[in-house]
Amino acid sequence: MSDHISKQFDLELETVRTRVLQMGGLVEQQILSAIDALLSGDIERFDKVIVDDALVNALEVAIDEDCQHIIARRQPAASDLRMVISVIKTITDLERIGDEAQKIARMGKIIYTSERYQLPRFREVSKMAEVAVNMLRRALDAFARLDASAALELAEEDKGLDEDFTAELRQLMTFMMEDPRTISMSIDTLFIAKAIERIGDHSKNISEYVVYLVKGKDIRHTSIEEIKREIGLTAG
Residue placing its CB nearer to a second copy in the complex, 36 or 71? 71
- Cβ closest to a second copy, residue 28 vs residue 99: 99
Whole-number minimum distance, CB 126 to a second copy, in Å?
22
* Cβ proximity of 191 and 122 under 8 Å: no
Angle, CA of 158, 160 and 162, to the nearest 5°: 70
Closest approach of Cβ 61 to a second copy, in Å? 5
Identify which of residues 1 and 39 has a Cβ nearer to a second copy in the complex: 1
Q: Which CB sits closer to a second copy, 29 or 57?
A: 57
Q: How wide is the angle at C-alpha 138 spanned by C-alphas 36 and 227, nearest 5°?
A: 135
Minimum distance between the CB of residue 43 and a second copy, rounded to whole angstroms? 22
Answer whether 151's CB lies under 8 Å from 39's CB. no
Q: With H, G, I as helix, E, B as strand and everything else as coil, classify residue 164.
A: helix
Binding positions for a second copy, rule: CB under 8 A? 54, 57-58, 60-61, 64-65, 68, 71-72, 75, 77-78, 81-82, 85, 88-89, 92, 169, 173, 176-177, 180, 183-184, 187, 190, 194, 218, 220-221
Count Cβ atoms within 10 A of the Cβ of residue 3 and give its class: 0-12 exposed, 13-18 middle, 19 or more buried.
exposed
- 43 phi/psi in degrees, rounded to 5: -65, -40
Instruction: Tally the residues of the chain.
Output: 236
Helix 43-74 and helix 78-113: axis angle, to 10°? 160
Instruction: Report, in Å, the least distance between residue 40 CB and a second copy.
Output: 27
| Minimum CB–partner distance for residue 180 and a second copy (Å) | 5
When the beta carbons of 130 and 179 are compared against a second copy, the nearer one is: 179
